[in-house]
Chain A
Amino acid sequence: MSKYDVVMGAVITKPRTSLENKTGSWRTRRPVVDVEKCVNCLLCWIYCPDSAIIRLEDHIAINYDYCKGCGICAEECPRKAITMVEEG
């Protein structure tokens, strides 16, 4: 019917396709966690706009597949446990 191989109205007909698009490559700076300083308060987990904070037993970790490097977690961490370092 259409010459174009796209779904009418730009509908994405399957859920969770955002998982397939790894957006970590957009990052220019990466957050690095000092697990000694982290008290697992999860403020960074609440603030991260990309849901890229992974909750572990005693501290957090960063999911670099999706973290876009905005630095919000580092800014919000009350323990200064996250530092932003240049990529590359």
Chain B
Amino acid sequence: MGRRIGLMGDEAVAYAVKQCDVGLVSAYPITPQTIMVERISEYVANGEIDTEFVCVESEHSALSVCVGASLSGLRVFTATASQGLALMHEVLYAASGLRCPIVMAVANRALSAPLNIHCDHSDMMGSRDCGWVQVFAENVQEAYDWVIQAFKIAEHPDVQLPTVVNLDGFTLTHCMEDVEVLEDEDVKKFLPPRKPIYWVDPKQPMTFGAWAMPNYYYKFKLQQQEAIMRSLRVVKEVGEEFGKLTGRRYDTLYGYGLEDAEVAVLSMGSTSGTIRYTARRLRESDGLKVGALKLWLFRPFPEEDLVSALEKVKVLIVLDRALSPGAVFGPLGSDIASLMVKHGLDFKLLNYTYGLGGDEVTPEMAEKLFKLGLKVAEGAKPPSLTGYVREVV
């Protein structure tokens, strides 16, 4: 059974990495780096883990080192945030194309300019199509839990893809919570050593990173697509196994009140807590038919699970914590609109952006959103279908 300790999000991620028997961590050590790798480097310096820690001069190099190490068969971790993820951009695609099951934690933070170090999801949304499995944590406990699961998902023989665990910058990375951590032996049992399929070995030489002509390139990319689609099943299996071990069962999404909610709000990350708290309050004190839907797994997009979760909903408000300048909807809103077309869903879709650069997300705002949704469910016209939450309600 687990123990309860106080940890900040950064520390919880580092603690999980410490327990996962990671062979190598490579990271750029200063801003926009987080305390995650600082703690890991302390574990290494204190001799608590025998992980190889490679300190490099940029995030581009950090992920490149991780790719090389992963190809050599090691279990590999790195972490970054905002501009750091942007600088890794081209290597993100190399990591997924080379099928390296690297795990990375991203402290979701705004991109410059203007300079801002606070939370939003622009960093991950900017690299949305990099081919990594992408999960979002709601709180510090989830960040810890997802890191351990992420290795198991990434390294699964049917997946073999890098996986990113997103946790909201500052809101989660720098806030201390009561976290239930597993015993080291339990993590060991849950996560056996990595079994690479192909690896760099002088005794049996192979070529990695080869060139593919037009008649082959698309086959490799479509094969990669097959793998990320298979990860859907793996995420659910791993979540269930983790649930048996800890009592905290994970899945692709988490719904509240959806059995009869007319209005639901869909969100990712720490805001999901605020939304669910508000929904519960409105249901319990005012008997309002509202619900909350938290998306844990953003890529691959859990289409079937979303379709069944949204079966009864009349109005869905999708919250995007990233601006997609000039686009019709935000990234998550666009995915839901596509889902509606593909699966013939017919609820009313409102898609608002919020919380850019650490802008506050309060229960009062959530309440106004739900009330707006309820009016729309009764046939009222919303002030707009898109926009910034602060300006809409």
Point out residues on A near B: beta carbons under 8 Å: 1-15, 17
Contact = CB atoms under 8 A, between A and B. Distances in A.
A3 B388 CA distance: 44
A8 B197 contact: yes
Contact of A15 (B97, B99, B100, B205): B205
A4 B97 contact: no
A8 B223 contact: yes
Contacts of A12: 206-207, 210
22 contacts: A1-B158, A3-B226, A4-B226, A6-B216, A6-B219, A6-B223, A8-B160, A8-B198, A9-B99, A9-B100, A9-B220, A10-B97, A10-B98, A10-B210, A11-B198, A11-B206, A11-B208, A12-B206, A12-B210, A13-B206, A15-B205, A15-B207
Secondary structure at chain B's binding surface: helix, strand, loop or mixed?
A: loop
Interface residues of B, number: 22
A15 B206 contact: yes
Contact of B212 (A3, A8, A10): A10
Interface string B45-59: 000000000000000
B205 A9 contact: no
Question: Which 9 residue pairs are nearest across A and B when measured between Cβ atoms?
Answer: A9-B99, A12-B207, A15-B205, A4-B219, A4-B223, A11-B198, A6-B219, A9-B98, A10-B210
A11 B158 contact: no
B216 A9 contact: no
B222 interface: yes
Contacts of B97: 9-10
Given A1-B158, A2-B226, A3-B226, A11 B219 contact: no
Contacts of B197: 8
Residue among B98, B158, B206 facing the most chain A CB atoms (10 A cut-off):
B206
Contact of A13 (B198, B226, B227): B198
A10 to B, nearest CB: 5
Nearest to A13: B206
B99 to A, nearest CB: 4
A4 B207 contact: no
B220 A6 contact: yes
Given A6-B220, A12-B206, A17-B207, 9 more contacts: A3-B223, A4-B219, A4-B222, A4-B226, A8-B99, A8-B160, A8-B227, A11-B208, A12-B207
Nearest to A7: B198
Contacts of B100: 9
Contacts of A1: 158
A17 B160 CA distance: 25
A15 B207 CA distance: 7
Interface string B191-218: 0000001100000011111101000100
Contacts of B98: 9-10
A53 to B, nearest CB: 23
Residue among A9, A12, A15 facing the most chain B CB atoms (10 A cut-off):
A9
Contacts of B223: 2-4, 6, 8
Contacts of A3: 222-223, 226
Contacts of A10: 97-98, 209-210, 212, 216, 220
Interface string B219-241: 11011001100000000000000
Contacts of B220: 4, 6, 9-10
Interface in B328-376: none
Nearest to A18: B207
Nearest to B157: A1
A6 B227 CA distance: 13
Residue among B208, B210, B222, B226 facing the most chain A CB atoms (10 A cut-off):
B210
